[in-house]
């Protein structure tokens, strides 16, 4: 104990440097799989499994990417550019649906007085406990009966109810001073206008954070699209990649290229917008 | 008086309009499916027989599953997975977050956390595909094991013993960055006075960690534990891509079994019954969380 204390008092820079180096190495180790994947994606098949690893390919090739993107190769039953378009479409629509619906409901719970508000709130709370894996089968049955399997609608529509998003919106709206709303209404603004023009701008950071997190969730969503989308023309990226991996099996260079295509743009978006992500992640997680 | 009443009615109407989209969703995609699931779980329904062609068999599904070795294996694997992945993930994250908090400058700390977070934003199929390659017979991970003196490392994902641990390792890797983030945020909220007081009492770094940091982070740990358990019980993607439950049923998990029963064999009745079991387990976990939260806020 005495020894540690004296170390602290001296504030020797040594532990700081040592731990910095160790943690940097650890962080690098964490992303090594991605670095390896990136390097493999430019390698010939026979070079991928060489050991020790050639981090910079000795015979760099673009063939893997050409094959994956169908440049000069006949189309098989996957198409990554199409999957990109699908993923973008589905993620944007699903995110808008969930955020808007949660925003409206959150506003009602936070600011409007209505009969049954408490009971409804408890029902919402209880819904949180129902895992989407349990409702998946009925949703599948219903959508197949309606002929809606193999539509993007089947993935987007259920996002209209997001209880956790509703709660976060409610929390955020509750933190906005009631006077703002009152004075807007004094000026003759209706509820709708008050909500949209006065209240929503006040919680912009929360909305931004939630939107980024919801978007990422939708972008990476796996189980639902796997069940609902079997037509390759409709597949989102994870599902297209899934299909690709199960078809191309042991062609590791190809698979690496396909993985890079699905992952690297997300990394770039993440690195650029990290502030939002980080806020979104910690919202609700840490209670004061 | 009547003006007030009118206003109340109007507010009621407005609230209804605001709540409508969310309510429709709640009823259509959550409440009705829940009731339907519970009902179907009491039948022998196979989807291929068409709507309505089900026989009510009471609790038979729920009794049969306890002699179904695939279900039992799924349940066991899911428990093992959770019991290993959640504590190890939290422990590692706590140590790393503490080290970052006490030794690293803010700028570097942010870079480190963002770097460690990257596996989490990678979609599960890509992560799984990368790890399939790392784990393959001549893959870097296997080679590394050879280098470390493991003479005949198995083909990890094809081994009864090693397939589940291999998936667990990937899951810990994937979730670590998130846990570090949340712990760091928690640590930032600990008052510096507490540390100074501890220092005055002669506490060293280890004592401060043990007597100040860990107790102060209890709510954070609890939150991460609960969400971690819930997430672990729903593990599916990694299994479906990496092993498809195999070899044998050594990596079957509850959600994978539900998925298999429902969408490969179309045994909707039985699959729903297993899903109800999952629901009940998660219900218990959530109730524990609520009880705890209400207890601590009083």
Q: Does the pLDDT of residue A2 top 60, yes or no?
A: no
> Mean pLDDT score of chain B, rounded to an integer?
89
CB contact under 8 A, B283 and A129: yes
Contacts with B, A 218-257, CB within 8 Å: 219-220, 222-223, 226-227, 237-239, 241-242, 245, 250, 252, 255-256
Q: Quote the pLDDT of residue A251.
A: 84
The reply to whether A141 touches chain B by the CB within 8 Å rule is yes
Bond prior to A135 in cis (omega within 30° of 0): no
CA nearest A16: which of B92, B69, B298, B103? B103
Residues of chain A with CATH 1.10.3720.10: 80-282
Q: What pLDDT, on a 0 to 100 scale, did the predictor assign at position B91? A: 95
Chain B residues touching residue A120 (CB < 8 angstroms) = 19
Confidence of residue A70 (pLDDT cuts 50, 70, 90): confident
Chain mean position to CA B219: 18
What is the model's pLDDT at position A287? 38
Q: List, in order, residues 6 or more apart from B218 with CB less than 8 Å away.
A: none
Residue of A nearest to B290 (CA): A125
Domain locations in chain B as residue ranges: 2-40, 64-297
Between residues B296 and B18, the one the model is more confident about: B18
User: Which of A231, A215, A229 is CA-nearest to residue A93?
Assistant: A215
Predicted-complex ipTM score: 0.87
Integer CA distances (angstroms), B103 to A15, A18, B108, B186, in order: 7, 9, 10, 17
Task: Render pLDDT for B88-127 as a digit per residue (tens, 0 to 9).
Answer: 999 999 999 999 988 888 888 989 999 999 999 899 999 9
Measure the CA angle with vertex B130, ends B127 and B136; round to 5°. 135
pTM (2 d.p.): 0.89
Instruction: Please judge whether A267 and B177 are an interchain contact, meaning their C-beta atoms are less than 8 angstroms apart.
Output: no
Average pLDDT over residues A231-260: 88
Nearest CA in chain A to B20: A105
CATH topology of domain A80-282: MetI-like fold (1.10.3720)
> Do residues A28 and B112 lie in contact, with contact meaning Cβ atoms separated by under 8 Å?
no
Query: Mind telling me how many Å the CA of B134 is from chain A's nearest CA?
Result: 8
Pick the range with the lowest mean pLDDT from A211-215, A241-245, B271-275, B294-298: B294-298
CATH code for the domain defined by B64-297: 1.10.3720.10
Say how many CB pairs under 8 Å bridge A and B.
279
pLDDT beyond 90 at A152: yes
Does A219 sit within 8 Å of B123, measured CB to CB? yes
Average pLDDT estimate for A84-99:
94
Best residue of B129, B254, B268, B283 to probe chain A, by most A CBs closer than 10 Å: B129
Chain B CB contacts of A93 under 8 Å are none
Q: Tokens 């860990």: give the residue.
A: B214
């Amino acid at each position: 104990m005495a020894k540690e204390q004296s170390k602290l008092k001296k504030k020797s820079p040594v532990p700081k440097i040592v731990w910095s180096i160790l943690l940097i190495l650890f962080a690098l180790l964490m992303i090594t799989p991605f670095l390896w994947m990136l390097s493999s994606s430019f390698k010939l098949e026979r070079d991928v499994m060489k050991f020790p690893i050639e981090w910079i390919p000795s015979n760099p090739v673009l063939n893997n990417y050409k094959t994956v993107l169908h440049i000069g190769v006949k189309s098989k039953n996957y198409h990554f550019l199409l999957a990109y378009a699908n993923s973008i479409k589905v993620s944007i629509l699903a995110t808008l649906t969930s955020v808007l619906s949660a925003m409206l409901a959150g506003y009602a719970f936070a600011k409007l007085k209505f009969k049954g508000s408490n009971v409804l709130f408890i029902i919402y709370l209880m819904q949180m406990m129902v895992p989407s894996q349990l409702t998946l089968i009925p949703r599948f049955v219903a959508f197949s009966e309606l002929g809606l399997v193999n539509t993007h609608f089947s993935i987007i529509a259920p996002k209209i109810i997001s209880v956790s998003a509703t709660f976060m919106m409610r929390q955020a709206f509750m933190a906005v001073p009631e006077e703002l709303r009152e004075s807007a209404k004094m000026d003759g603004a209706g509820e709708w206008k008050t909500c949209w023009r006065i209240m929503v701008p006040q919680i912009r950071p929360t909305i931004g954070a939630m939107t980024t997190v919801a978007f990422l969730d939708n972008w990476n969503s796996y189980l639902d699209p796997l069940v609902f989308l079997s037509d390759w023309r409709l597949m989102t990226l994870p599902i297209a990649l899934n299909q690709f991996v199960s078809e191309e099996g042991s062609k590791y260079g190809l698979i690496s290229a396909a993985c890079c295509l699905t992952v690297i743009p997300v990394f770039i978006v993440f690195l650029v917008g990290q502030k939002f992500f980080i806020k979104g992640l910690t919202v609700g997680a840490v209670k004061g | 008086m009547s003006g007030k009443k009118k206003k109340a009615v109007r507010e009621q109407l407005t609230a209804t309009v605001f709540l409508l989209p969310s309510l429709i969703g709640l009823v259509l995609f959550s409440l009705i499916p829940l009731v339907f699931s519970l009902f179907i779980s009491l039948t022998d329904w196979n989807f291929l027989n068409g709507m309505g062609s089900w026989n009510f068999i009471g609790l038979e599904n729920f009794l049969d599953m306890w002699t179904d070795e695939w279900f039992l294996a799924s349940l066991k694997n899911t428990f093992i997975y959770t019991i290993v992945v959640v504590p190890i993930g939290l422990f590692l994250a706590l140590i790393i977050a503490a080290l970052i908090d006490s030794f690293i400058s803010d700028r570097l700390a942010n870079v480190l956390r963002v770097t460690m977070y990257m596996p989490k934003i990678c979609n599960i199929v890509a992560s799984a595909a990368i790890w399939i390659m790392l784990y393959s017979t001549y893959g870097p991970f296997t080679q590394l094991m050879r280098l470390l003196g493991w003479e005949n490392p198995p083909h990890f994902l094809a081994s009864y013993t090693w397939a589940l641990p291999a998936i667990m390792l990937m899951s810990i890797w994937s979730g670590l960055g998130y846990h570090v983030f949340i712990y760091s945020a928690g640590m930032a909220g600990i008052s510096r006075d507490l540390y100074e007081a501890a220092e005055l009492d002669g506490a060293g770094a280890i004592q401060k960690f043990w007597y100040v940091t860990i107790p102060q982070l209890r709510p954070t740990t609890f939150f991460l534990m609960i969400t971690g358990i819930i997430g672990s019980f729903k593990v599916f993607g990694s299994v479906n891509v990496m092993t498809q439950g195999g070899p044998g049923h050594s990596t079957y998990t509850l959600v994978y079994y539900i998925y298999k029963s429902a969408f490969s064999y179309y045994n909707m009745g039985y699959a729903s019954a297993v899903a109800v079991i999952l629901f009940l387990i998660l219900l218990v976990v959530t109730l524990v969380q609520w009880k705890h939260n209400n207890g601590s806020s009083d």
